[in-house]
Amino acid sequence: MLTNPDLRNKAMTLRPEGLIKGTKGGKREVAYPIESIEELSMIDQVLRDESVKFLSETIDSGEPFYLIHSFSKIHNDNYPAPKYKGKSPAAMPVRDAMIEVDDITGELMALLKEKGVLENTLVIFTSDNGANEDTWPDSGYHPWRGGKGTTWEGGVRVPGVVYWKGMIEPGQINNGLMDLTDIYMTSLRLGGVMDKLPDNLYFDGIDQTAFLLAENGKSRRQVVYMWNRTDFCALRWLDYKIHFKVFNTVIPRRNIDASVLQDIGTAPWVFNLNMDPKEMASTGHQYFEWGVPQATKFMKAHIGTMKKYPNTDIGLGI
């Protein structure tokens, strides 16, 4: 209960929650207020309309474009738009939301085709984290250990579909390493602006243009680094996952709500993901002594970049 009159008056005059819209050099504003579950369920329809508008106007102007279309689904508390309620065979919100996401993706692809730019557009469909098991039973599922919020494979291994008509040979499956930061650098290369990067910043991403465009291309990424807030936890190198800190999920499927981060013991926890993709039994001391020095070297070099180029403090250390 607020007892301070000034705080109480301020709380009563706060603008409603909702989708925030802003332009470079302009003000931010609530473009779509959300005051009910019904309005919350329509977020992705609103975002679809915005992306359709942006693509149509930009393509018609003849200007190049770069669009990141982020879905509110599939996430916590899935509320599918009314026309999608019960549309999935399971008739559960998260499954209904999958159908909604699939339909919107199809609409955006159809618009690119209709506008005649599909053959000149690289499309990447992926996720920023693994399935959120904390919302079980209305949650995502996967065969990996852990989920969103952890650095186990269930939290960091995500599918990625890359499409460019006439440029990428269809039907290829590749297990090469690629990090989300690589999308940025690859986009800059394809956009012809790689030479405009400032030289006083450190860029984690790697240009993966050749990996994506060459038939059966090879990834240029040697290591993927994994963090939890401000703690370095693990890295992926070759077929191996090396943990320097590990998540202990106290309650099943509560990777965010009931999980603790713990230091390792004598040796790093190491899993050969080809043999043990579920990270069930560490064999670091038994089979990976040869690789520990190199993995440690990778870790120290990576952390060293933070000393020269410190991260911006965004409050994650609280």
| Whole-number Å distance between alpha carbons of 311 and 307 | 9
Every domain of the chain and the residues it spans: 16-121
pLDDT single digits (tens) 79-131: 999 999 999 999 999 999 999 999 999 999 999 999 999 999 999 999 999 99
The pLDDT confidence band at residue 140, using thresholds 50, 70 and 90, is confident
CA dist list (Å): 268 to 83, 118, 273: 50, 46, 15
pLDDT tops 50 at residue 11: no
pLDDT single digits (tens) 282-318: 998 889 999 999 999 999 999 999 888 888 887 766 5
The pLDDT confidence band at residue 132, using thresholds 50, 70 and 90, is very high
Proportion of the chain above pLDDT 70, given as a percent: 94
Helix (H) or strand (E) holding 163: strand 160-163
Beta carbons of 270 and 288 less than 8 angstroms apart: yes
